């Protein structure tokens, strides 16, 4: 080889810096490359100059001390147990190999929903905003939401009130509409692009009978859609009521369910904390289950009548703890609840008395 010959080493960093070609480039997304970039990197344990592990070297130094030699045999089992515990803590709870971090909110996220096709993600937060993420338009340099909406803002001035978002949910039957629950007495329906479609009515707080009010009189905590009817949704509030809305007529109130608390000194009212609307075991109707702050779990026939619940558990969870999670299985036979008392319980809708697992 002559001295004038130039040798260029195969440098990966140089390849990534230089362009792959000139002229018109293909703007199509490299899915394989993006998938490889999202692979999780495993951190290796630090080593010394001779290649030995720092933890092993420190253990060897501790064992070589004269005062510790008498206790080596006694502490051997304890060290092995502690090592097993540390390894179990380091291992992930789920066997995830790839991850993608979307840092779009400034405060904790309260709810998220994914459309049935899996192409759009919507998140809600205590920063009073709803963020819209489109996976198809994301690139490694644009991992952010393409739109941010404040559903409670009515004015552009700085004095307008904003409220945290409790819950967002795609319509499972018609993904073109989204139910948004904010910390106000009114629920909203938005389009999949964030445009307002409908809004519920605020009730009269001076009426004592909740059946006569046209809407919630205080803050709404959660809500959900009907499992099969695209025009029906239900909301739960701190006024001890569940309200079913007909969204085909600009959120007209269809039915009112008043939950009467049996706790002494509560005047028959409590806060509703979670709700789920799913299929029933019979298959020809639906099942409506709600949780309250007084620890009760109540079930109704999802199609009515709602004058009296079909089943009720007074002490399903500890009183004055927030039951924030509630879901019904696809066959309608089991209900799972996550309480503020650090317990997750599984219930049988056919024998709705005591949990089958906790």
Residue with tokens 């179990």: 88
Residue 249: Cβ-neighbour burial (10 angstroms; 0-12, 13-18, 19+): exposed
245 contacts 252 by C-beta, under 8 angstroms: yes
3-state secondary structure (DSSP) of residue 148? strand
* C-alpha angle 7-11-15 in degrees, rounded to nearest 5: 110
Residue 215: Cβ-neighbour burial (10 angstroms; 0-12, 13-18, 19+): buried
The whole-number pLDDT of residue 66 equals 47
Question: What are the φ and ψ backbone dihedral angles of 2, each rounded to 5 degrees?
Answer: -75, 160
The whole-number pLDDT of residue 99 equals 78
Residue with tokens 């904790």: 108
Query: What residues form DSSP beta bridges with 348?
Result: 334
Instruction: Pick the closest to residue 297 from 266, 269, 268, 318 (CA basis).
Output: 318
Tell me which residues of the chain have a pLDDT lower than 50. 63-64, 66-67, 69
The whole-number pLDDT of residue 17 equals 59
The whole-number pLDDT of residue 98 equals 75
Instruction: Pick the closest to residue 189 from 146, 241, 130 (CA basis).
Output: 130
Copy the structure tokens of residue 222.
């959660």
The whole-number pLDDT of residue 49 equals 56
Q: In this predicted model, what pLDDT tens digit does every residue of 149-184 receive, in sequence order?
A: 998 876 555 556 789 999 999 999 999 999 999 999
Cα 208 from Cα 180, distance rounded (Å): 27
pTM: 0.74
């Amino acid at each position: 080889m002559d001295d004038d010959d130039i040798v260029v080493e195969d440098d990966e960093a140089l390849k990534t810096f230089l362009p792959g070609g000139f002229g018109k480039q293909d703007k199509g997304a490299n899915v394989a490359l993006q998938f490889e970039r999202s692979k999780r990197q495993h951190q290796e344990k630090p080593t010394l100059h001779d290649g030995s592990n720092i933890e092993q070297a420190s253990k060897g130094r501790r064992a070589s001390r004269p005062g510790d030699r008498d206790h080596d045999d006694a502490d051997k089992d304890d060290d092995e147990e502690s090592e097993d515990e540390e390894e179990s803590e380091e291992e992930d709870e789920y066997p995830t190999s790839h991850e993608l971090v979307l840092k779009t909110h400034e405060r904790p996220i309260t709810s998220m929903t994914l459309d049935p096709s899996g192409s759009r993600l919507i998140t809600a937060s205590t920063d009073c905003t709803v963020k819209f993420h489109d996976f198809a338009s994301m690139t490694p340099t644009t991992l952010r939401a393409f739109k941010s909406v404040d559903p409670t803002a009515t004015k552009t001035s700085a004095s307008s009130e904003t409220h945290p978002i409790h819950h967002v949910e795609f319509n499972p039957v018609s993904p073109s509409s989204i139910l948004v629950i904010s910390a106000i007495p009114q629920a909203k329906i938005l389009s999949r692009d964030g445009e307002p479609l409908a809004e519920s009515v605020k009730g009269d707080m001076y009426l004592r009978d909740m059946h006569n009010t046209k809407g919630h009189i205080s803050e709404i905590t959660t809500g959900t859609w009907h499992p099969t009817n695209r025009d029906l949704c239900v909301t739960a509030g701190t006024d001890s009521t569940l309200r079913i809305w007909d969204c085909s007529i600009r959120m007209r109130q269809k039915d009112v369910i008043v939950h009467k608390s049996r706790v002494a000194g509560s005047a028959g009212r409590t806060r509703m904390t979670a709700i789920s609307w799913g299929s029933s075991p019979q298959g020809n109707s639906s099942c409506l289950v709600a949780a309250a702050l007084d620890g009760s779990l109540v079930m109704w026939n999802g199609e009515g009548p709602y004058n009296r619940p079909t089943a009720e558990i007074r002490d399903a969870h500890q009183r004055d703890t927030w039951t924030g999670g509630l879901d019904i299985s696809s066959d309608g036979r089991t209900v799972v609840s996550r309480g503020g008392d650090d317990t997750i319980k599984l219930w049988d809708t056919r024998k709705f008395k005591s949990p089958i697992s906790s």
